Amino acid sequence: MAILTQSEKDLWGLHNADWNADLASGVITFTNTEMGLIVTAPLRVIGTYDIQDCTWLWGWNHPSVAEQLGEHARRVRDFGQRYELQAPTTRKITASKDDAWGFTAPACHLGGGQGGYNGSSGDIRVFMTYGEVTIRKMDRDRSTGKASKRHPGQGTV
């Protein structure tokens, strides 16, 4: 997953992009105004990490995650059940942010994702995988020649 995500940083500037996750449609949008690009991809929620109490809540049984968006998390849970692993089969656990990435990486692999991402929503970090990306150029403002956003918003879940 690290290699996939790094290639996205190099190709379309993932690390400099604003993001917006639409959980109703299951789409994440990255907007890189510096490069003039809008990138969209299907998303899956692996889980959420609470930075205040250092807990992880899996996306396979999360009150804010629709069933279809928890698909990749369920694949990790199923793997955990098969090999009798506690962390992937326990709905909420004490964990670190590194653990959260450690849960996201196998979800990306098992779900055939193109990369992983985490974004903040207050004290919560939402860990996601995303699928095949669609890249398009932003509209240009005719008066300034600068790229203009079609999708306002930054980091909303």
Mean pLDDT value across residues 60-86: 97
Give dist(CA 154, CA 91) in Å, integer.
29
**Above pLDDT 90, what percent of the chain?**
76
Digit-coded pLDDT (tens) for 30-61: 999 999 999 999 999 999 999 999 999 999 99
The rounded mean pLDDT for the chain is 89
- Measuring CA to CA, which residue among 61, 12, 64 is closest to residue 4? 12
Identity of the amino acid at 3: I
Mean pLDDT value across residues 3-30: 88
The lowest-confidence range among 90-94, 112-116, 133-137, 145-149 is: 145-149
Instruction: Kindly tell me if the per-residue pLDDT of 8 is higher than 90.
Output: no
Instruction: Kindly tell me if the per-residue pLDDT of 151 is higher than 70.
Output: no
DSSP H helices in the chain: 2-12, 71-82, 97-111
Q: Cα angle vertex 45, ends 30, 10, to 5°?
A: 35
For β-strands 134-137 and 37-50, DSSP reports them as: antiparallel
Give dist(CA 139, CA 27) in Å, integer.
20
Longest C-alpha distance within the chain, in Å? 61
Q: Check residues 156 and 80 and name the one with the higher pLDDT.
A: 80
Q: Check residues 16 and 152 and name the one with the higher pLDDT.
A: 16
The model carries a pTM of 0.86
Sequence-ordered list of residues with C-beta below 8 angstroms from that of 31, at least 6 positions apart, any chain: 17, 18, 19, 20, 37, 38, 39, 138, 149, 151
